[in-house]
Amino acid sequence: MYFGYRKRHGSEGSLEMLNKFEGYLQTDSYGVYPQFALKENVTQIACWAHARRYFEKALDYNKANVSHIMLQIQKLYKIERKATSQNFSIQERQTLRLEESHPVLNEIGNYIAA
């Protein structure tokens, strides 16, 4: 895991840090990052905090369906709090996510697709 920080939020710092990067890249939605997802050995991933914001904005339009999704996201947060509070190792987190988060993610995907 790598966390990079630059004082300026310009593309120069991102390009410098990520030029040779390979693997899973979790970023915010800043416009410079999508170009890295085009690289063969980079998989861009998102975070639930950003996704949740969009669901929250949609509450006024479809409260019942959006509330269900937000409840599922809260389950994911609870699982992560469990891992943090119990100081899980990376391997323990992976196992926990496969056992507990994966079914929740499937529920979200199936619910949205229906």
Q: According to the model, what pLDDT value does residue 15 have?
A: 73
Whether residue 52 is found in the same domain as residue 88:
yes
Q: What is the mean pLDDT of the chain?
A: 87
3-state SS record for the chain: CCCCCCCCCCHHHHHHHHCCCCEEEECCCCCCCHHHHCCCCEEEECCHHHHHHHHHHCCCCCHHHHHHHHHHHHHHHHHHHHHHHCCCCHHHHHHHHHHHHHHHHHHHHHHHHC
- Same domain, yes or no: 27 and 53: no
Q: Do 69 and 103 have their domain in common?
A: yes
107 shares its domain with 67: yes
pLDDT value, residue 1: 65
In a domain, 82, yes or no: yes
Q: Are residues 53 and 98 in the same domain?
A: yes
pLDDT score of 96: 98
Structural domains of the chain, count? 2
The reply to whether 22 and 73 lie within a common domain is no
Query: Is the predicted pLDDT of residue 28 greater than 80, yes or no?
Result: no
pLDDT tens readout for residues 41-85 = 988 887 888 889 999 999 999 999 999 999 999 999 999 999 999
Q: Which residues span the domain enclosing 70? A: 48-113
Q: Report the pLDDT value the prediction gives residue 9, as an integer from 0 to 100.
A: 64
